[in-house]
Amino acid sequence: MSVPAPPSPSGPAEPVAHLKGVSKVYHGPLDEAGLRVTALHDLSLEIVPGEFSAIAGPSGSGKSTLLNLIGTLDAPTRGEIRVLGRRVTGMGEDELADFRLRELGFVFQSFNLIPVLTAVENVEYVLRLQGVPASERLARAHEALAWVGIERLADRRPTHLSGGQQQRVAVARSIVHRPRLILADEPTANLDSKTAAGLLDLMEGLNRDAGLTFLFSSHDPAVLSRARRVIQIRDGILV
């Protein structure tokens, strides 16, 4: 079953994410040198529609911070960020939460499934929060599970699914509302190499066939070898 592409805005394609002069300083405890921790420093970057890209760098380089800023889960200390044509810096918390819910898809390394819900209930949860009627959201959740090849497991709870199956449920949940940008933070970290390869095959297919834009944060060579663009970051600076 093919996945329908997300709706495209009319006119010339604009970046799905645009960062200009972005810095992020954490005002928590000082580091060993008595300084504030600067996770990102004066970073400018564009992600264009249809990319299958990865942010790479050693632990502590700032790659997860960059992904969180694009996903509006964190706010920059300085600079401007536009996501899907909207200036997200300066948005209020309620507006940001609604923006994430309706416009972005997220895949996390820990799956983040709700253990008391079945696979299909986990997938439809996003649509429930959006206020989609019950019959429609159930049909769309089953459809999303079919897209990722596990509709037969719709009634199983996470504890009765393998790690790879749980991650496919997480991918189905991330695409059920047809977002234009999907952010994946270390999506293969808890998977064996064969399962990880299958997951990457799945996401490559969604990118190729449906035009979904994927941006990963990863140090997994398997992910980096599949990415068509690798954004290297070290000590908070683009390399």
Contact present, 113 and 145 (Cβ < 8 Å): no
Domain assignment present for 115: yes
Residue 25 lies in a domain: no
Residue 143 forms part of a structural domain: yes
pLDDT value of residue 136: 96
Q: What is the pTM of this model?
A: 0.89
Give per-residue pLDDT as tens, 55-111.
999 888 999 999 999 999 999 999 999 999 999 998 999 999 999 999 999 998 888
What range defines the domain where residue 100 resides? 49-74+92-238
Specify the number of domains making up the chain: 1
Question: What distance in Å separates the CA atoms of residue 62 and residue 58, rounded to the nearest whole number?
Answer: 9
Supply the CATH number for residue 228's domain: 3.40.50.300
pLDDT at residue 229 tops 60: yes
pLDDT tier for residue 13 given thresholds of 50, 70 and 90 = confident
- For residue 1, being part of any structural domain is answered with no
Instruction: Report yes or no on 57 lying in a domain.
Output: yes
Query: pLDDT tier at 38 (50, 70, 90 boundaries)?
Result: confident
- Using an 8 Å Cβ cutoff, are 218 and 187 in contact? yes
Count other Cβ atoms within 10 Å, centred on residue 131: 7
Alpha-carbon torsion 173, 223, 71, 46, what sign? negative
pLDDT at 26: 85
User: Quick check: is 222 in a domain?
Assistant: yes
Instruction: Check whether 168 has a pLDDT greater than 90.
Output: yes
